[in-house]
A and B are shown apart, each in its own frame.
Chain A
Amino acid sequence: MKVQSGINLTAVLLALAAGTIGGARLSLAQDVDPNQGTKQIEAEVKEKNVAKWDDPETTRVYVIPVRGQFGQNVTATPLKRALNDAKKEQPDVIMVVIDCTFTINGQTYQEWATGAGEIVWQSNALPTAGELSTLFHEGIRDDAEWKTRKGEKPRIVAWVKHAMGPATMFAMSFREIYMAEGAHLGGVGYLDQMMNDDGGSQRVLEKWRGARLGRFTGLLQLGGYPEELARAMARSDTLMSVDFQGGKPVFREDLAGEIILADGADETRRDTLQDLVRMKGNDVLTMDAELAKKLGVSKGTVNSEDEMVASLGIERTYAVRGDRAAKEMIRWSREVAQAEQRFAQRWREFNQIQVNGQTATERNAQRGKRLGILNQIKRDLEMYKESINPQAIRGAPQQWVSEINVIIERLKTEMRLDR
């Protein structure tokens, strides 16, 4: 890729994303719509041959849609509910359909904005991906109730439709991945530039970077993918290319291989905006469906359920269920969005109640109403804390709960003393 003189592309991308470059609003960021997640996952799972679900000759496929914003729409509670339903159905195959936006801390980027990868590393994406991956790995492995009708563990496959950024970390923990045409795995680059602008000790920064890369590599290891891929995807100070021997990739830390995976360490080959917008950037590795297949990450490119089923080698009749799982995911997203909206609304209601009654009884009644509202806010925060966007409520849920507890204590004290 040709040199782009003097431009720090990462900075440009992030500035674009934040809308801080003036003139025409070429913003990569999209204003967060609390219902965005809900809109994206209105599409239901298309159940099929349900009447044949109990037929012993039927292969049971249970679809779990992982859609919307990873870490907000996609969190432990809805996934657990979806998996609990799946467990009852004893599927032969669990198909995890990953269709997530490239959203970090509530800010959504266009897929080509791979520079946002640096922010991914500073967010909660990695620990979240690690935690959620356990639901599909040891959560199924160690639960004796998870079994097919033959008493085996179900086959778990991931179908990647959109998974840039945080969702890539999750997707790559799956051993069997299929990708849709146009899908990409990546957007987790520029780890080596993480917090560079803050001016701290490089030794400490490298510690943090190495630890993160270690955890990310661990996720890839769960999927059975080599650690070289993690490095190529994460660090732009890398040179990585690949040869193929007997169809298997052999990685090399130079650019002499058949395919260049990452060349960010060569300053003369820095990505241009033109490269990035066309998803051709390779300062860090972003895999499209074709490259992922060559590297052995994807088992195949599939664009429909029929293609997927054929790729899985399912020859007999198959049935698809998962509508309930989809509804669980939708319901959760809707509830979270509503909780976020209620938060501001309830604080307004709280502030509108003045404690100005003529008598202690009247004043304490007013205080009682305030207490009721505070308890409602607390309930929402505690119930949805794993998904509520701290930016939407201007603070972390747990901090708000502590704050509210102190206000409650104050109100109760006033009630005691106002007789």
Chain B
Amino acid sequence: MKTIQKMLATIGIGAAFCLGATFPAASAFADVITLKNGEVLDGTVERDEADFIVIKITKNGKVETRIISKDDIKKREAAKPAATPATKPTTPAAPSTPAAPAKPAEKNGQEAKPAPTGEKTASAPSGEAKDPKASTKPSDRALTGRAMRIAFLNFGNPLRDQGAGGDMVGVHVSAKAFRDVLPILEKEKVDIVVIRINSGGGYTLEMERLSSLFQDVYKQKFRTVAWIESAISAAAMSPWVLEEFYMMTNGNIGGCTEFAGSAHRPTEGAALEVRLSQMERFSRLAGRDPKIMRAMQIQEPLSCTIDEFGNVTWFQDLTGEIIVNRAKEVLTFNAPMAVKTKFARGIADTREELASAMGLTEYEFVAEEATKMMDRYMLEAQRIEESMREMIRKYQLAINVAAGLPREERGPEVGRARKHLGEIKKMVDLNPNFQFHFGIEFSPAFFAEQEQILRDLMK
């Protein structure tokens, strides 16, 4: 696996990092940063946080923004005072963002302006531009200058939706929905799928389905990345097979201890070992040290040391230089620590920032239909969750009423019961887990039995 260090070295982040008008322009200052790998960055530090800095540099005539972990910095010196005033903070919503990056196409299907022949994109390894028609592979497209087509799929409704729609894995978030949306992604010739995660977890059963789908299908067809707002428990485990994680500023990921219903029923013994082993395998599929997930599942300490070349060595104890998880706690990562330890490749709060963090300069956001389909699924699943018990009671009411009537008068009430039963079946069909989620086994045999009851009422 490419180390994060190598990725950072090859990535030129095109878009300016959004700070909004709350960030005073006067705090930008010119610096010369020497990294531990020898690279020297001469530019303007736009943001200086506890664990990372954001610096704008000019490279090959293009302005790039780099996010640098402070652990990678060997030396920092003030540059000679610049004659020009400090740049104002940029706003991604405003179309007039300065300098290098090509603006993303605003509508699906619009081709962004291709790079001139022979010009290399910042994310491309060295090599000559190829005939755009020669290959449709995402990796080849990066070389051809064609815009990368990025689709966003929500895994749990974003916080900004104020609780509309749900986020439970296995209830509102399901592998079925992610599978159903594939034809749209393929039709739209999507190159990159971003799984935007805001979820507190859910069913382990569904986690396994999602992991398999991401590993066996998504990763084979698309560059698939996780973009984390909050990914707890099964929501962290489901995408664990993905190699690329990006965090939002407020992002958090971890807390993967399994239990059955309450704190009094933790997974233990052989079942726990099976789960730990499974996640070790998922870690290997992602090229990730399995100690990280282990500290998210059980109370294991975790630390790491980053050498002068930026390589991270993990320890399942506290002997490393950076304490990541204390002994009696269960790990949940936050964004700065995730980036510092190179678990995550970058921090991004907007789609444009994410594209830049992924090393893209030519891109377009596509497949809005797929995004909406996933969102509609979550909303519908939430509606079902809220109304299923009510529907069951209405069904029971109709049956009881019918049973209390003379046979010749039962027709309308049996019809009503059948209608409610049909609604219940439709609800269950949305998500296979609904067969058991409500405490009633909604199996095919159940529905067959109910149909028989309704027929018997009419005899």
Q: A interface vs B, CB < 8 Å?
A: 76, 127, 130-131, 133-135, 138-144, 146-148, 151-156, 173, 175-176, 195, 198-211, 213-215, 217-219, 221-222, 224, 226-227, 386, 398, 402, 405-406, 409-410, 413, 416-417
Contact = CB atoms under 8 A, between A and B. Distances in A.
Contacts of A222: 249-250
Instruction: Name which of B21, B93, B386, B390 has the most chain A CB atoms within 10 A of its CB.
Output: B21
A216 B191 CA distance: 34
B221 to A, nearest CB: 29
B238 interface: no
A206 B259 CA distance: 12
3 tightest A-B contacts by CB?
A: A200-B263, A218-B250, A214-B332
A155 B21 contact: yes
A143 B393 CA distance: 44
Interface residues on B, range: 35 or more
B93 A205 contact: no
Interface stretch (B59-67, B68-76, B159-167, B448-456): B159-167
A356 B328 CA distance: 66
B336 A221 contact: yes
B257 A206 contact: yes
A76 B405 CA distance: 49
A221 B250 contact: yes
Interface string B141-175: 00000000000000000111011000000000000
Contacts of B22: 153, 155-156, 175-176
B349 interface: yes
Contacts of B263: 195, 198, 200-201, 204-205, 208
Interface string B402-441: 0001000000110000000000000000000000000000
B250 A406 contact: no
Contacts of B387: 402, 405
B255 A208 contact: yes
16 contacts: A135-B160, A138-B349, A152-B21, A152-B89, A175-B23, A198-B264, A201-B259, A202-B328, A206-B299, A206-B329, A209-B329, A211-B254, A211-B255, A211-B332, A406-B390, A413-B398
A141 B18 contact: yes
A372 B394 CA distance: 19
Contacts of B376: none
Given A218-B334, A398-B386, 14 more contacts: A76-B162, A131-B159, A131-B160, A139-B160, A141-B91, A141-B349, A153-B22, A202-B299, A207-B255, A211-B233, A218-B252, A221-B334, A406-B390, A410-B397
B251 A206 contact: no
B50 interface: yes
A406 B394 contact: yes
B390 A402 contact: yes
B99 interface: no
Contact of B200 (A204, A211, A386): A211
B297 to A, nearest CB: 9
Contacts of A199: 264
Contacts of B249: 218, 221-222
B197 interface: no
A208 B255 CA distance: 7
A120 B134 CA distance: 59
Contacts of B248: 218
B331 interface: yes
B457 to A, nearest CB: 15
Nearest to B401: A413
